[in-house]
Structures are given as C-alpha cells and as structure tokens.
C-alpha cells in the first residue's frame, strides 16, 4: 500500500500553506509591522509584483491567516492585518529566524565543502 504523503510527513500541508515563495514574507511583514495598506506591504517586501501580492493576499485571506478591512472613503482604503490564526505562527517564525541566524553560515560552509570535492 502506498503511504499517504500527509501521514508520512504531517507538517507537509503546513509547509505548502505557509512557506510558499511569497507567503512567508507577507506573513512576516504583517506580524512584524502590524496593519498595512497594500502599497506599504508592497514597499516593505520589495521585489513582489502587485499582481502576485494581490493573489497571495486573497489566498491568505481565504485560508484565514490574513484579514482585509475595506474603508469606504474617497479614495477607498484597504488594510491588511495578520489574523489570530496567522499570529499563532509567530513562534515558528521566531524559531526559524533563530535557526537561520545560528546555522546559515554552517549551511554555506557545507555547500562550499561539497562543491569543492
């Protein structure tokens, strides 16, 4: 019988959900800086296109990780904020940031050793 991927690695669905190309920087930015307008978020992330940012924000809103608030003003104002569910990922982000700080140099060294063989 073929193993079910989700059972072989129970975190695989979470990795697919949270750690895709642009999802992590969006969630990180909203967690670090709080409520953001689209342009602020785009500026903080840097290299993301407006189209991709729109797609990712819609998906994150659909997944319950981000909330979108529309203010019917002239001109209309829309703000994005990490939800409580999204905020529950903060300890994971913190742990990964610590791991990165402590270990990325080791990863680079390992790659260099491997490539030099």
Give the pLDDT means over successive 10-residue stretches in the chain (117 positions).
Answer: 67 83 92 94 93 95 96 91 94 91 96 95
Query: Other CB atoms closer than 10 Å to residue 16's CB: what's the count?
Result: 11
Calpha distance 41→33 (Å, rounded): 9
76 DSSP 8-state letter: -
Residue 43 · residue 37 · CB < 8 Å? no
pLDDT at 1: 59
Q: How many domains does the chain have?
A: 1
d(CA 68, CA 79): 6
**pLDDT for residue 60:** 96
Per-residue model confidence (pLDDT) at position 87? 94
Q: List the domain range (segments joined by +) for residue 56.
A: 5-116
Tell me, what's the pLDDT at 107? 96
Q: Check residue 95 and give its pLDDT.
A: 92
pLDDT for the residue numbered 111: 96
Q: What is the pLDDT of residue 2?
A: 65
pTM beyond 0.95: no
- Residue 6: in which H helix or E strand, if any? helix 5-8
Strands of 19-113 (E only): list them: 36-37, 66-71, 77-82
Q: Report the CATH number at residue 112.
A: 1.10.10.10
């Amino acid at each position: 019988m073929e193993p079910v991927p989700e059972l072989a690695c129970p975190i695989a669905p979470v990795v697919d959900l949270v750690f895709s190309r642009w999802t992590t920087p969006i969630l990180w930015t909203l967690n670090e800086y709080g409520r953001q307008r689209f342009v602020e978020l785009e500026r903080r992330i840097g290299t993301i296109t407006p189209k991709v940012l729109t797609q990712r924000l819609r998906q994150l809103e659909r997944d319950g990780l981000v909330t979108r608030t529309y203010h019917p003003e002239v001109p209309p104002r829309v703000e994005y904020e990490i939800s409580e569910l999204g905020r529950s990922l903060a300890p994971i982000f913190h742990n990964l940031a610590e791991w990165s700080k402590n270990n990325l140099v080791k990863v680079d060294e390992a790659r260099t050793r491997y490539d030099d063989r």
